Amino acid sequence: MIERVSLIGVPSDIGASDRGASMGPEALRVAGIVETLEKQGIDVKDTGNVSGPKNPQAKPVDGYRHLAENTVWANNIQEAIYKELSNGNFPIMMGGDHAMSIGSIAAVSRYCADKNKPICMLWIDAHADFNTNETSPSGNIHGMPVAVATGTGHPDLLSIGHAVPMVKPENVYQIAIRSVDKSEKKLVIDSGICVYDMRRIDEIGIRQTMQEILHDVSEKDAHLHVSFDVDSLDPSIAPGVATTIPGGLTYREAQLCMEMIHDSGLMNSLDIAEINPALDRKNSTAKIAVDLTASLFGRQIFPTHSLYQGE
């Protein structure tokens, strides 16, 4: 059971084109993430916000938008999250755009190397985030973190990790994918990461999807890092994101996903990314993110064992 959680705010939208994700951490606080987790018996420490450069709103240079600024943010995030892990706390990175996960993955990978433990990453997202400067139509670094984590990207971004790659490609699992740039698709296929796009989920269901992933992670005896982009959800229930893509996870699919992750006991760190209050309705997207986080940390209607095991 997870007993101590550290919330780490990352108020940045420097990896994206649209402004607003910098308000994501405060939206989660307003939506009651602290109170929700405390009601579940968890000791919650809000560490405040990581700081970094302001968004210069500049055009891409050599296919990267705000490379230097993103690098500073990621390094600062890594130090903050690594500190909490080293102190025995469960870190939740509250983003911020998804480029910020370069820093959180670097921290978790470094920590796992210290412990001689493998790392697996569950990437819950509408997008594969496997672009490079040569494939990205926008140059936005929030479309590149999985590529960077698995060893492809600018040297400044790769150097944030203790090693290259931060995560072995075969230890990356993606679910809810439904928007991949044309040139990015080949990189994803060639990389060897495991992708459960929405068609595959439609065919086999979210239950089998999660069973297969969690079984594999368990067999590897790995630290599971969950990186949850709220645009993985269907826009009908999560409108407050910069890139709304129809056909995402339903509320019940998302709930079952989170409940099964909790039941596995494998999750040891978490990102919540891409909440954009400027595009939201009455903070509804942050509220559903908090609701799903509660399920990730064990909130249930009834104890599962009492219903399904005849006890």
Tally of domains within the chain: 1
Catalytic residues, which ones? 98, 125, 127, 129, 142, 229, 231, 274
Q: What is the DSSP letter of 135?
A: T
Contact 8, 22 (CB under 8 A): no
Which of these, 98, 173, 183, 100, lies nearest to 134 by C-alpha position? 183
Burial 218-238 (b: 16+ CB within 10 A, else e): eebebbbbbbbbbbbbbbeeb
Helix intervals (H) in the chain: 24-30, 33-39, 67-86, 101-114, 145-149, 155-158, 182-191, 198-220, 251-264, 284-296, 304-308
What CA–CA distance (Å, rounded) separates 135 from 137?
Answer: 6
Global model pTM greater than 0.75:
yes
Q: What is the pLDDT of residue 301?
A: 65
Model pLDDT, residue 307: 47
The range of the structural domain enclosing residue 196 comes to: 4-308
Residue 94, CA distances (Å) to 55, 58, 61, 200, 269 in order: 18, 24, 28, 29, 12
Give CA–CA dist 131/147, Å, rounded. 6
Q: What is the pLDDT along the chain (311 residues), one digit of tens a residue?
A: 788 999 999 999 999 999 999 999 999 999 999 999 999 999 999 999 999 999 999 999 999 999 999 999 999 999 999 999 999 999 999 999 999 999 999 999 999 999 999 999 999 999 999 999 999 999 999 999 999 999 999 999 999 999 999 999 999 999 999 999 989 999 999 999 999 999 999 999 999 999 999 999 999 999 999 999 999 999 999 999 999 999 999 999 999 999 999 999 999 999 999 999 999 999 999 999 999 999 999 998 666 554 444 44
In this structure, which amino acid lies at residue 270?
A: L
How far is Cα 244 from Cα 179, in angstroms, rounded to an integer?
Answer: 10
How many degrees, rounded to 5, is the angle at CA 163 between CA 78 and CA 107?
Answer: 20
Position 2 scores a pLDDT of: 86
Q: For the chain, report the end-to-end CA distance as a whole number of angstroms.
A: 21
* pLDDT value at residue 121: 98
> In the prediction, which pLDDT does 262 show?
97
For residue 66, report the phi and psi dihedrals to the nearest 5 degrees.
Answer: 65, 45
pLDDT at 1: 76
Q: Which position has the token pair 């084109």?
A: 17
Q: What is the CATH number of the domain that holds 127?
A: 3.40.800.10
d(CA 24, CA 18): 13
Q: Are strands 172-177 and 194-197 parallel, antiparallel or unpaired?
A: parallel
Tokens coding 153: 């990207």
